[in-house]
Structure 1
Amino acid sequence: MIPHGPDVVETLPRRWNTPPAAPPACRHTLTEHARLEWRTTDGGDPATTIQDFLTTHGLPVTDLTRPAHHDPTGICGASLYVSAAAGALITGAPPGPPTPAPALPDIAVVIHTHTDHPTPPAPPTTAPWWLGPWQPSWTPDQHATAVDTVRAAIARGDVYQVNLVGHAAAPYTGDPLPALARLGTLPGARYGGTLHGHGWALGCASPETLVEVTAGRIHTRPIKGTRPATTQGHRELLDSAKERAEHVMIVDLERNDLARIARTGSVQVDELFTVRRWCDLWQAESTISATAADGLGLADLLRAVCPGGSVTGAPKHAALTHIATTEPVGRGASMGALGWVGPGHLDLGLTIRTAAADPHRLHLWAGGGITWDSDPQAEVAEAAAKAAPLRAALAHP
């Protein structure tokens, strides 16, 4: 039997979320005004559902190029979460195997207004925090075999690159929200924050921008290429022909994604293969930007960028088909999007380095991009290295 006490997420008192990318001046003065939760079984078009809900509540998302201003007395903006499965459906690809955390919605939109009465501190829980052993959904050998399966698909010419993601779950007792909130304090967590609802919660430590739109200018910042954060690791990452080829492939994919929604000739690469640090890892990041086409709405933006190319592969649809048949369980809260939609500004992080809680278990996902030159054992080790800082933060009492 999985142990659980009275303070699991389904019985927690209602508390404020700490949405990533919310305006800093408003972040601690927000209150929930309205909420949408959607699952893939609900039917309909996810992108249109999101846009219509935001529009109904006064957020101007049918034309992201139109100037808009923040109202300190009205609707501030909205937290937006999109699962990997919803992202695949948005782009017309298979959603993948069933999620191991069905308590989580596939889309959550939380409309926020301002309050003069910030949330009081949460009462202390009665049960101490305890996190049990992690149980993976595939063994290291199964992960390595999946890498070889992708390499065979690349050899046949089916794909050029596929991102493989593994999952693990651990039982817990106590309140999971402080543990999930700790993820946002990890070094390099550009999209650190939490979001939760009845029976579910997620915490994010992502460094990666899926898409940002400000004043009609679109940015995406794919991350691809990892080494330990040592002097030698920095040198190895810069010198690795394999990592650079993998990275440039995704840059090209995301240039094409932006070109679908940009003014002709406006797409450009502002930075290419810049090495930045996340926790104890070096990672290579590029910045791609474009001017939004006239009248670009949120639904079309999501159709162009979801799911993110750095967590799918190239070509995107072919990679998603291989992912759906190769990974043992769904990606749940990971490899999707989480961030903020406000008047005149949208900023969504890619939910890598993300964990989720259902009433009885924490869930964590990690993986990496597979190319013909990938070494199966090295890929298994890289996924473990990405998960290690999150496991350590979640285990902290």
Structure 2
Amino acid sequence: MRQVRPYGVEALPRPPVDIPGVPVACRTVLVERDRCEWTVTDGGDPAELIETFLAGHGIDLRDLARPARHDPYGACGAAVFVSAAAGAVMAGGPLGAPTPAPALPDVAVVVYAHDPHLAAARTPAPPARWRLGDWRESWTPRQHADAVQAVRAAIGRGDVYQVNVVGHAAADYRGDAGPVLSRLAALPGARYGGTLHGDGWAIGCASPETLIELRAARLLTRPIKGTRPATADGRRDLLASAKERAEHIMIVDLERNDLARVARTGSVRVDELFAVRRWCDLWQAESTVSAQPADGLGLAGLLRALCPGGSVTGAPKLAALHHIAALEPVGRGASMGALGWVAPGHVDLGLTIRTAAADNDRLHVWAGGGITVDSDPAAEVAEAAAKAAPVRALLAAG
């Protein structure tokens, strides 16, 4: 992991920090103190590097079961981003195709501290001219459908039960991508709406899905599986679909098993099963799985157990990662990873679905879905397009 200079500290005007999960009361009084970035070519254990770097700045997450308090005078907390590729490293799986956005790190950890004197200096930037070119897909609808068929064949052979396949698109842009990416947070249902910026890259997130949250000494994950148009008929169809419910329960079982690896024995439970909630113009099915952390569980162990998220890989997870690596033509970049906020006694990381990223001259988006033996290839292609459409439309509007 490379320690790099704090990004944008001297630049004015400075907008409020809008990392997903950052305490609302602290947003206007935070200053970046230090950051580290890591890519898969750096080697080593990214989970251990994250935990160690945070501990060196007074954010001790080496025992999540231990009570902790917010320090109003020291480090408030840190933004943490983990790519899908970094998650694959943590899980011991294959990396797959190269990322289409190599300017982005695979891990970024940004430590923030309180500085109330900054509040008066934070003013909004003036609107910038914006132009977005045409989207170029990483695969055709036919190639996407062929990948769905390949997964169905693998399920028929007994290799896997479910695999999530993801497509990518990129478009040239002119202007400042930061304000445009920040608008994604306003999309309805964006529980993890926010941005993270670095030197030559930026990520904008509108995710509704919790990868992992530590709240009141309890771990929670909220997997999402199952999608329909947000109409009355769509809601009835989602609730009645045996295929969607079976797909969903597979992932809930996977998340239960992932949490059980790091939980106090007997503490894992399903608090809510197949609740239908709205994101933009889509209904989605969500469950809540929770557990008590085992004594001595640190952030590194938690990340190794949960990354990459089960709902964007499949079951069994390692077998699904091998099929993903073989089928997807480009890497997942900023998508299907984790982004959020950590602090002593507090972890809140969203799964980076409905996420876009910018490098120096291109915007990138990703979308996909879980494939089961009953999946219809044309319907899966259409579902991925429906998930990407609100993000693309907002980015085009500038």
Same fold (TM over 0.5): yes
Q: Partner of 1:39 in structure 2? A: 39
Give the CA deviation at 1:18. 1.4
Alignment pair present for 1:49 and 2:13: no
Separation (CA, whole Å) in 1 of partners of 2:390 and 2:320: 28
Moved more, 67-76 or 360-369: 67-76
Q: Partner of 1:282 in structure 2? A: 283
Q: Partner of 2:327 in structure 1? A: 326
Q: Partner of 1:3 in structure 2? A: none
- Conserved 8 A contact 1:65-1:215: no
Give the partner amino acid of 1:42. Answer: D
- Conserved 8 A contact 1:75-1:111: yes
Give the partner amino acid of 1:303. Answer: R
Q: The residue matched to 1:226 in structure 2 has which SS?
A: strand
Q: The residue matched to 1:355 in structure 2 has which SS?
A: strand
Question: Deviations along 1:264-314, whole A, 9 cap, x unmatched?
Answer: 111000000000000000000000000110111000000100000000000
Q: The residue matched to 1:324 in structure 2 has which SS?
A: helix
What is the percentage of aligned positions where both structures have the same residue? 71
Separation (CA, whole Å) in 2 of partners of 1:18 and 1:35: 16
Give the CA deviation at 1:123. 4.3
Q: List aligned pairs for 1:199-210, cutoff 5 A.
A: 199-210=200-211
Give the partner amino acid of 1:84. Answer: A
Q: Partner of 2:222 in structure 1? A: 221
Q: How many residues align?
A: 387
- Conserved 8 A contact 1:209-1:222: yes
Separation (CA, whole Å) in 2 of partners of 1:45 and 1:38: 10
Q: Which 4+ runs in 1 deviate beyond 6 A? A: none
Q: Partner of 1:173 in structure 2? A: 174
- Conserved 8 A contact 1:227-1:233: yes
Separation (CA, whole Å) in 2 of partners of 1:154 and 1:13: 53
Question: Deviations along 1:311-350, whole A, 9 cap, x unmatched?
Answer: 0000000000000010000000000000000111110000
- Conserved 8 A contact 2:166-2:368: yes
Separation (CA, whole Å) in 2 of partners of 1:358 and 1:124: 21
Moved more, 116-125 or 40-49: 116-125
Q: Which runs of 5+ in 1 are unaligned?
A: 1-8
Q: Partner of 1:146 in structure 2? A: 147
Separation (CA, whole Å) in 2 of partners of 1:369 and 1:295: 34
TM-score (norm 2): 0.95
Q: The residue matched to 1:28 in structure 2 has which SS?
A: helix
Give the partner amino acid of 2:89. Answer: L
Separation (CA, whole Å) in 2 of partners of 1:86 and 1:96: 11
Give the CA deviation at 1:29. 1.6
Separation (CA, whole Å) in 2 of partners of 1:191 and 1:231: 26
Q: Partner of 1:105 in structure 2? A: 105
- Conserved 8 A contact 1:312-1:319: yes
Give the alignment's Cα RMSD to 1 decimal. Answer: 1.5
Q: List aligned pairs for 1:267-278, cutoff 5 A.
A: 267-278=268-279
Separation (CA, whole Å) in 2 of partners of 1:262 and 1:236: 35
Alignment pair present for 1:120 and 2:112: no
- Conserved 8 A contact 2:336-2:353: yes
Q: Partner of 1:24 in structure 2? A: 24
Separation (CA, whole Å) in 2 of partners of 1:168 and 1:303: 29
Q: Which runs of 5+ in 2 are unaligned?
A: 1-6
Q: Partner of 2:297 in structure 1? A: 296
Give the partner amino acid of 2:106. Answer: D
Q: List aligned pairs for 1:45-84, cutoff 5 A.
A: 45-84=45-84
Q: Partner of 1:197 in structure 2? A: 198
Q: Partner of 2:4 in structure 1? A: none
Separation (CA, whole Å) in 1 of partners of 2:96 and 2:51: 24
Give the CA deviation at 1:214. 2.0
Separation (CA, whole Å) in 1 of partners of 2:253 and 2:232: 29
Give the partner amino acid of 1:47. Answer: A
Q: Partner of 2:384 in structure 1? A: 383
Q: Partner of 1:260 in structure 2? A: 261
TM-score (norm 1): 0.95
Q: Partner of 1:237 in structure 2? A: 238
Give the partner amino acid of 2:347. Answer: L
Separation (CA, whole Å) in 2 of partners of 1:115 and 1:123: 20
Q: The residue matched to 2:356 in structure 1 has which SS?
A: strand
